[in-house]
Structure 1
């Protein structure tokens, strides 16, 4: 019973943090309203002297005009008119004064913004703001999973009912994350923006749904392997889709779920084509999300996962169907060439100057090797070259001659390196892989 109690305690702390954030956000909003009212009062205070100066200038001009025209009006009437200008004149002076005050305030704010240095969030601040939210999100996910296990063991309700409740719990977590992202709960999204509360809640809901589907298949045999495979894939793809709203960390969770789905679902007659088609679709979905958001970490992990699946299949299978993994790797190369990063980082290298020193040339060479897409280039190269070499050393029987497979993979990798200025490492690794294969 210690684990459920600990999870409940962490969940309570998480909910307390949310409630405190709502209270703090309301206080911050009241302070903001007071600051705005003070600014208006200050602007009115600046406008009053300007209006007085405008009134004085108008009275002086009127007096001069009356003196030059030798008006019949007496000096007392002129003084009265100078002290009491018309309402139209006072309104015009006030409008001009307010305009001058607003422009002066804008100049002051611009100078303050320019003089204020950009502060970088410290590691202590980042960890202090996020650790409680992350721990609470993990506790919520574990709570959803243990809700299934402990309640069934206690015999409170049937496994089917508890699985349904856990699935509803996961969906509620996802809806709560979306509600907070849309600021349906006022102030949380602004006050705890760096804590990623919406993403953490959505990730907890996704983990809960993963656990429910796997428990329904692997523990209680409520659904078959085909249904479980489809449901886990849907949860994974939905998580990748929601990562467009919640960030790269959620995309990594969806990618992890999609890469683990085939390993969680066992079958006496595995379909290799279905396996690699599913993995290829997962890779394409991740690459599409990465292109939209400009990510480099998640697509690198996707390259690594697809390469490991191909390498593991080559190492374990007694009879190898070469077409499914080969086509998946070729699709990955084509996606890297045209989908992401494509020509996003495809800028030509700096032209060499004849008078350039060897040191400058070395710096330019290092910049060429350390391009922004370094992680993607290295992972896609290793994910292709290692299975290609693995085909040559496999102990199992293979339905296609390894030379054809290795030639196709290395040639396509070399084409990637030749077609893009940012793909230096694919060209280098393709040359080394060709030399190793020939040897």
Structure 2
């Protein structure tokens, strides 16, 4: 697993220890087993080390509880929310919810309407993070929830809607940014002066996850929201209840519920399982030992291309809020070249342009570039801009220039200046 920054390491360790200490004799947490294992997985990867028998027993208890619920579905039907959190927990634990003891839980979830808006939104988030495309009708429902003027949704629902829309957008549904921005704007209006949302710890934790997933470039009181959350930690490490502690745990691991979609699971090769998590796809140097997926665009062949048939583009990197570190490379490439191809060419030519990416839905998410890795809780992110005029280092381009597609889907135009800027937002 990749290591991400945490709020306070001792605080996170104490919270994990308290949660683990709440297990019952059967190695589960009663009706909260799925939610708890999901939170622990996002907060603390080391607890799930292969040699940790406790984690294995708790995972088996999760499976046992779910099998029993499926068996007794007539007596005790699975609610949409309970099924959704189980799907996300299985995905986070590297289990396939589409083949759970001959049951396709993702398909089952797709056939449930959900009783309340929160369950509807959470079900779509679970469906998406499991790698299944969210139906257009469900996307429309999420959009409706984010735009309804005559209905005030709870902070929790709006936060999960934002997370679900982000996940759906990364499934190459790039027309959702307007609705996400609108929902984020609505959510921000509910932040109180003390940093909280709805004066409630659980709601604030969910809202903070939604804000972090949005890579928000506007002004909002992130520090005060974090301080509000951390002020509720008790001496025993908990945040008052298992329910609230589970909501905070992902944040303490530098993660949100969206990170379920970025799971790194052992690879199965020739009926054997690697002992460590599969590495993030690396595109750092030519001849890298990590295999490059076959669907990635190769370096363009210029042997049969005349100068008149080439287009010109410049790739720029800025590092730091004031862009104190900046450099660029210019390329002449054929029409229909992707930006991913430009990035690979730059990495081969200049080691300052080496990068790493992980799979997000059906695309690639650039998380490390030029030796700098995104840090969610420090609000340091890589943002990609497509410009037509040379930018002034440190001067923020208008948000309209932010590229809304993945590096694989971004096609270069003649004269494009592609700026990747690592700065605090």
TM-score by length of 1: 0.26
**Bigger-Rg structure (1/2):** 1
TM-score by length of 2: 0.27
Using CA pairs under 8 Å that are at least 6 residues apart, name the structure with larger relative contact order, 1 or 2. Answer: 2
Q: Which has the higher strand share?
A: 2
